Amino acid sequence: MKKLSNDFSGALRTFAYFMASGSHYMLKDVKYLDMYGSEPSAIEQVFAIFANVIEMDDEGNVLNFTYAQKRATDYLRSYCDRSFEVKPPFEDWETELYGPPKITH
């Protein structure tokens, strides 16, 4: 059975921590913490973009942590500030929302 790498686990944990604490350095001056209780779809999209964009090599080493964060946080910034333009615009594969795995008992 394959598991996600420690490097990916650390990347996800770090991103989640700074998003949940309201202190992500790429979202300075963006007030987004209240969205966790009131607009969960926006937060869901942020994490979907992060997961869709992040890349790993064959050993599981994360190759583009900063870029994955930038794409995800740019979405949230544009959501909160309609005048912010995401460049380049998102491609469909970046914003795809995949369903959960089948639950087996």
Tokens of 2: 């394959």
Residue 93 buriedness (CB in 10 A; 0-12 / 13-18 / 19+)? exposed
Percent over 70 (pLDDT), the chain: 100
Q: What is the pLDDT of residue 2?
A: 85
Q: What is the pLDDT of residue 13?
A: 98
3-state secondary structure at position 102? coil
The candidate with the shortest Cα–Cα distance to 49, out of 85, 11, 83, 96, is 96
Query: What predicted TM-score, i.e. pTM, was given to this entire model?
Result: 0.94
- pLDDT per residue as tens digits for the range 15-38: 999 999 999 999 999 999 989 989
Percent over 90 (pLDDT), the chain: 90
Residue with tokens 């964009």: 53
- pLDDT per residue as tens digits for the range 49-96: 999 999 999 999 999 999 999 999 999 999 999 999 999 999 999 999
| Amino acid letter, residue 57 | D
Task: Please report, for the chain, the start and end positions of each structural domain, with discontinuous segments joined by +.
Answer: 6-95
Q: Quote the CA–CA distance of 53 and 39 in Å, as a whole number.
A: 22
Q: What is the pLDDT of residue 105?
A: 78
Q: What is the pLDDT of residue 46?
A: 98
